[in-house]
């Protein structure tokens, strides 16, 4: 018995020792630190929510300190992000990530980031250098344990490099500026269906004319499209959109502009965003930063405020290159055969042999079909061989988006704002603006290609030059507005330009449901306040659900359980409330209906195509009922029949999972906001690191809460990763929120402290006044420059 007692006591001591050791990985927030590279003393006041307020005597020292606090609070996130961009995950995660690394090494994102550095201004390089010094000052002076992820995975972070910052900007552009995966999916479908039927699967934006697809299916037959799809890193899925709007003083109770913004990106733990305030003689800015970048991406200065949504331009094209039949190291161009640029990339794999990747580039971009095999192995027919290349605006070495971000933090007027955006190249964003003088505006900066012909919907021949990019939309001709007579500007990823706009931006605008709902709510009262703006950001009425609800209610069901569900929904208006059962019924019905409509024709490609696609469903139900006919049966099924069958299936499935009484079902119990850890999400450690909370909404509510139809359950995977309201009558009344907490360390009280506040659409004060910041502050850390020997 005494042996057991002593063993338990020893185990308890070991656990306590491990716990207290791991807590040494938490940042120092009080006292004084002496740091090499700092030029003058800096004070970092962490307010009651651990938001750092950095008071420096120069911009360079403010950025140095931002690098230092980013590393204190989010070091593993920063290291993971740079490894993603550099294609170096396998060094620490092993064989499981080799395909991802191979894809990113082939893209060459990190290589382009390195080559971008010399093309930045001296001021931008200096800012990046100061930030890099700050990150490395933490790495060289830290004491105690590293964050737990490093200990679990058994490695230490390398020093920070300037390209580590730039590469993450390009990876954000990958998420927000891509449609290459739709091109690839269309090409795969064109091997199965005729062009007119594939075109139907991407119906035009409401009011636009249908678009015909060219037929290059013969070129697609032997290309490794399926294998490339399987291993490629996809951009954000449909439904991961954003909202922003701004009203002039004529529309507000204060007589000064109000601005709202809530970008919707993938949810994760820790949050993508990190709040910070930078104060120096020539700098006063607060808002959301991205750990790894030395500026506020979304926020306000002491004179202006701004907010982003994604424009969603078509800035990626797939080109089919024809190889020289006598020399596969050359490919055909309009001027004859030219050699590929070639390089070798070595992927180091933990516990395995290195993987050597041969990367080739054409005049259009990297040969991405090489990710799954060289041309000699994958594409040979009719005596000819072909490869697939990717053109993408963010792979240009003259991308100056980084310095645009720096300039935006210093802007004081509309003219400063516009001048800063001239360097904003990727990804194209809809940026709304307001200032204390009462001006409101919008600009959509970014490089959007002009094509010789075609519109980037499918992979096209690259050897003719017929589809080449001939330039970019001139900056002055990008969408913009200043002080419109309506006193209102709003974007929600919907179509931004009218039919008279002279340039092509994209066919893939987001569905207009969120935009229509915001318009309705803003028009609902003559004078708005921060409170009414908060109500708009919190709105969970789904115009998409309301539009399809009549189809569900009129479905000719015979099953008694399905009829009971119709009765339940008779008084429902599309409010996707977490505490109600109706959203769950609608979600399961729509999931079944989409599968019944398309699975028969699309076969093995159905899972890859399976998304909400309400514009397509609207088109099918109104104009193209042939999609409802099951091609696997001799009789001709109708859409009404499938709607009834889908409700019967949903009824059976819901009762099996959640019990016989629909009144006891709850949307929030199935639709939880899922903030997965960057690495440990699907491991036993996920219980410690992952965050989740019941939530309302869907992909089409203003309070966006996308979930995947093809995924079991209805876990929310993207949403408002940042919310902010800016009051230009008194900028200190502005407020912001992100989903998790400031810390990326699971042992910190600030790892998950914001989760319920975020779900309930509450905010933190966006303060810069030092006296207000000091109230309840968790600590003040003084950073001193090291004396030169």
CATH number at residue 645: 1.10.1400.10
∠ Cα 390 392 393 (to 5°): 160
pLDDT tens-digit readout, 81-133: 999 999 999 999 999 999 999 999 999 999 999 999 999 999 999 999 999 99
Asked whether 55 and 279 are in contact (CB, 8 A), the reply is yes
Mean pLDDT over 538-557 rounds to: 98
Which pair of structure tokens corresponds to residue 489? 């500007």
Q: Is residue 593 part of a domain?
A: yes
How far is residue 589 CA from its own chain's centroid?
Answer: 28
The percentage of residues in the chain with a pLDDT greater than 70, rounded to a whole number, is: 95
Closest CA to 261 of 544, 490, 542: 490
Q: Percent of the chain scored above 90 by pLDDT?
A: 93
- Examine the pLDDT at 383 and tell me if it is beyond 80: no
- Do 640 and 555 touch, CB atoms closer than 8 A? yes
Q: What is the pLDDT of residue 237?
A: 72
d(CA 120, CA 423): 10
Task: Kindly report, residue by residue over 665-709, the tens digit of the pLDDT.
Answer: 999 999 999 999 999 999 999 999 999 999 999 999 999 999 999
DSSP state, 719? E
Res 161: pLDDT: 98
Task: Output the CA–CA distances (angstroms, integers) from residue 114 to 310, 397, 446, in the order listed.
Answer: 26, 9, 21
| Helix runs in 201-273, H state only | 217-220, 225-231
The burial of 422, by beta-carbon neighbours within 10 Å (0-12 exposed, 13-18 middle, 19 or more buried), is given as middle
Read off the pLDDT of residues 471-523 as tens digits, 9 standing for 90 and up.
999 999 999 999 999 999 999 999 999 999 999 999 999 999 999 999 999 99
Beta bridge partners of 308: 431
The token pair at 225 is 């499209």
Inside any domain, residue 147: no
Question: Looking at the domain assignment, is residue 643 inside a domain?
Answer: yes
Residue 7, pLDDT > 80, answer no
Q: What is the DSSP letter of 367?
A: B
Check whether 373 has a pLDDT greater than 80.
no
- SS3 of residue 349 by DSSP: coil
Determine contact, residues 100/234, Cβ cutoff 8 Å: no
State the catalytic residues. 242
In 3D space, the residue among 266, 51, 146, 75 whose CA is nearest the CA of residue 741 turns out to be 51
**What angle do helix axes 614-623 and 582-602 make, rounded to 10 degrees?**
70
Beta strands in 544-585 (DSSP E): none
Which pLDDT band, with edges at 50, 70 and 90, does 382 fall under?
very low
Q: Is there a contact between 576 and 587 (Cβ–Cβ < 8 Å)? A: no
Longest Cα pair distance anywhere in the chain, in angstroms?
A: 89
Q: Is the pLDDT of residue 723 over 70?
A: yes
- In the structure, what pLDDT confidence band is assigned to residue 239 with cuts at 50, 70 and 90? low
Closest Cα to residue 565, out of 575, 555, 573? 555
pLDDT at 369 over 70: yes
Total residue count of the chain as it appears in this document: 789
Give mean pLDDT, residues 29-36: 97
For residue 684, what are its two tokens?
Answer: 């036993």
Whether the predicted pLDDT of 379 surpasses 90: no
**Cβ contacts of 590 within 8 Å, gap of 6 or more:** 548, 612, 646, 709
Q: Phi first, then psi: what are they for 772, rounded to 5°?
A: -70, -40
Mean pLDDT of all residues belonging to the chain: 95
Asked if residues 298 and 264 have their Cβ atoms less than 8 Å apart, the reply is: no
Give the residue among 488, 480, 483 at the shortest CA–CA distance from 442: 480
Interatomic CA distance for residues 693 and 674, integer angstroms: 7
Summarised one tens digit per residue, pLDDT across range 275-333 is 999 999 999 999 999 999 999 999 999 999 999 999 999 999 999 999 999 999 999 99
- Rounded CA-CA distance 680/678 in Å is 6
Residues 750, 743: contact at Cβ < 8 Å?
yes
- Which of the 8 DSSP states describes residue 117? G
pLDDT in tens, 448-460: 999 999 999 999 9
**Contact yes or no for 394/173 (Cβ under 8 A):** yes
Q: How confident is the model at residue 238 (pLDDT cuts 50, 70, 90)?
A: low
Element of type H or E holding 259: strand 258-266
**Strand bridging mode 274-280 / 52-55:** parallel
Looking at the predicted structure, is the pLDDT value of residue 623 above 90? no
Main-chain phi, psi angles of 284, to 5 degrees: -145, 100
Distance CA 675, CA 321 (A): 41
- 632 in a domain, yes or no? yes
Given a contact cutoff of 8 angstroms between Cβ atoms, the answer to whether 667 and 569 are in contact is no
Query: Does the residue 42 lie in any domain?
Result: no
| pLDDT at 206 exceeding the cut of 70 | yes
Q: Is 737 within 8 Å of 577 (Cβ atoms)?
A: no
Close Cβ partners of 194 (under 8 Å, ≥ 6 residues apart): 215
Dist. CA 461–CA 187, nearest whole Å: 13
Q: How many helices (H) and strands (E) does the chain have?
A: 27, 32
Q: Which residue has the tokens 């395995």?
A: 352
Give the whole-angstrom CA distance, residue 467 versus residue 39: 52
Does 610 reside within a domain?
yes
Helix/strand/coil percent split, the chain, to 5: 40, 20, 40
Domain span at residue 575 reads 543-670
Please state which of the ranges 24-38, 223-237, 406-420, 439-453 shows the lowest mean pLDDT. 223-237
Strands (E), 577-622: none
Total tally of structural domains belonging to the chain: 1
Using the predicted structure, report yes or no on whether residue 375 has a pLDDT greater than 50.
Answer: no
At residue 762, the 3 state secondary structure works out as coil
The answer to the question of residue 662 being in a domain is: yes
Judge whether residue 529 has pLDDT over 50. yes
Annotated binding site for Ca(2+): 183, 314, 317
Known binding positions: 183, 314, 317
Q: Encode pLDDT of 385-416 as tens digits.
A: 999 999 999 999 999 999 999 999 999 999 99
Backbone region of residue 683 per phi and psi (left: phi > 0; alpha: psi in -120 to 50; beta: other values): beta
Res. 21: pLDDT tops 90 = no
Is 642 domain-assigned? yes
d(CA 157, CA 149) in angstroms, rounded, equals 11
Q: Tell me which residue of 607, 313, 275, 243 sits closest to 456, measured CA to CA.
A: 313
Q: Label each residue of 136-161 as H, E or C.
A: HHHHHHCCCCCCHHHHHHCCCCCCCC
């Amino acid at each position: 018995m005494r042996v057991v007692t002593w063993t338990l006591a020893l185990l308890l001591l070991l656990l306590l020792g491990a716990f207290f050791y791991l807590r040494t990985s938490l940042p120092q927030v009080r006292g004084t630190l002496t740091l090499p590279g700092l030029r003058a003393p800096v004070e970092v006041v962490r307010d009651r929510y651990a938001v750092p307020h950095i008071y420096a005597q120069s911009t360079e020292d403010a950025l140095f300190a931002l690098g230092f606090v980013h590393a204190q609070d989010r070091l593993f996130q920063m290291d993971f992000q740079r490894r993603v961009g550099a294609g170096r995950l396998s060094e620490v995660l092993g064989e499981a990530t080799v395909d991802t690394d191979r894809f990113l090494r082939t893209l060459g994102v990190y290589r382009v980031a390195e080559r971008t550095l010399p093309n930045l201004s001296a001021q931008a390089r200096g800012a990046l250098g100061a930030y890099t010094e700050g990150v490395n000052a933490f790495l060289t002076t830290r004491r105690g344990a590293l964050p737990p992820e490093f200990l679990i995975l058994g490695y230490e972070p390398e020093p920070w490099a300037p390209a580590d910052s730039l590469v993450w900007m390009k990876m954000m552009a990958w998420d927000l500026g891509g449609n290459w995966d739709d091109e690839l999916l269309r090409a795969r479908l064109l091997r199965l269906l005729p062009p007119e039927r594939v075109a139907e699967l991407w119906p035009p934006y409401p009011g636009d004319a249908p678009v015909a697809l060219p037929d290059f299916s013969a070129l697609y037959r032997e290309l490794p499209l399926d294998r490339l799809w399987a291993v490629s890193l996809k951009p954000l899925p449909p439904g991961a959109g954003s909202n922003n709007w701004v009203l002039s003083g004529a529309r507000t109770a204060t007589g000064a502009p109000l601005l709202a913004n809530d970008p919707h990106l993938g949810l994760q733990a820790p949050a993508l965003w990190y709040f910070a305030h930078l104060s120096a003689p020539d700098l006063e800015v607060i808002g959301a930063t991205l750990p790894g970048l030395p500026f506020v991406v979304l926020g306000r200065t002491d004179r202006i405020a701004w907010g982003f949504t994604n424009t969603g331009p078509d800035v990626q094209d797939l080109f089919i290159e024809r190889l020289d039949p006598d020399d596969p190291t050359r490919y055909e161009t309009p001027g004859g055969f030219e050699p590929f640029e070639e390089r070798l990339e070595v992927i180091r794999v933990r516990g395995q042999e290195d993987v050597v990747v041969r990367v080739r580039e054409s005049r259009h971009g990297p040969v991405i079909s090489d990710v799954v095999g060289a041309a000699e192995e994958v594409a040979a027919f009719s005596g000819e061989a072909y490869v697939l290349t990717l053109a993408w605006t963010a792979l240009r070495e003259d991308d100056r988006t980084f310095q645009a971000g720096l300039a935006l933090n210093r802007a004081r007027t509309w003219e400063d704002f516009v001048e800063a955006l001239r360097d904003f190249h990727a990804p194209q964003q809809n940026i709304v603006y307001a200032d204390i003088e009462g001006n409101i505006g919008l600009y959509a900066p970014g490089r959007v290609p002009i094509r010789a012909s075609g519109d980037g919907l499918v992979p096209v021949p690259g050897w003719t030059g017929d589809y080449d990019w001939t330039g970019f939309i001139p900056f002055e001709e990008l969408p913009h507005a200043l002080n419109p007579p309506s006193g209102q500007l709003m974007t929600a990823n919907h179509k931004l330009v009218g039919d008279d706009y002279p340039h092509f931006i994209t066919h893939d605008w987001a569905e207009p449901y969120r935009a229509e709902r915001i318009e309705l709510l803003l028009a609902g009262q003559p004078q708005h306040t921060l409170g009414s703006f908060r109500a708009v950001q919190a709105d969970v009425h789904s115009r998409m659900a309301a539009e399809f609800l009549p189809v569900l209610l009129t479905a000719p069901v015979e099953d008694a359980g399905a009829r009971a569900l119709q009765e339940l929904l008779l008084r429902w208006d599309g409010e996707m409330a977490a505490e109600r059962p109706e959203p769950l019924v609608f979600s399961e019905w729509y999931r079944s209906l989409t599968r019944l409509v398309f699975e028969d024709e699309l076969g093995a490609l159905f899972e890859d195509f399976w998304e909400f696609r309400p514009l397509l469903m609207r088109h099918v139900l109104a104009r193209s009922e042939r999609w409802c006919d099951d091609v696997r049966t001799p009789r001709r099924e109708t859409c009404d029949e499938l709607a009834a069958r889908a409700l019967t299936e949903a009824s059976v499935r819901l009762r099996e999972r959640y019990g016989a009484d629909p009144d006891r079902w709850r949307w929030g119990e199935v639709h939880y906001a899922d903030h997965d850890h960057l690495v440990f999400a699907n491991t036993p450690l996920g219980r410690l690191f992952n965050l989740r909370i019941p939530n309302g909404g869907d992909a089409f509510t203003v309070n966006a809460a996308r979930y995947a139809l093809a995924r079991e359950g209805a876990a929310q995977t993207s949403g408002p990763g940042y919310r902010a309201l800016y009051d230009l009558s008194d900028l200190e009344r502005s407020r912001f929120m992100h989903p998790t907490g400031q810390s990326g360390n699971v042992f910190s009280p600030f790892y998950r402290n914001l989760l319920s506040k975020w779900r309930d659409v509450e905010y933190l004060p966006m303060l810069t006044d030092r006296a207000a910041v000091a109230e309840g502050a968790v600590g003040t850390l003084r950073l001193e420059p090291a004396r030169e020997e």
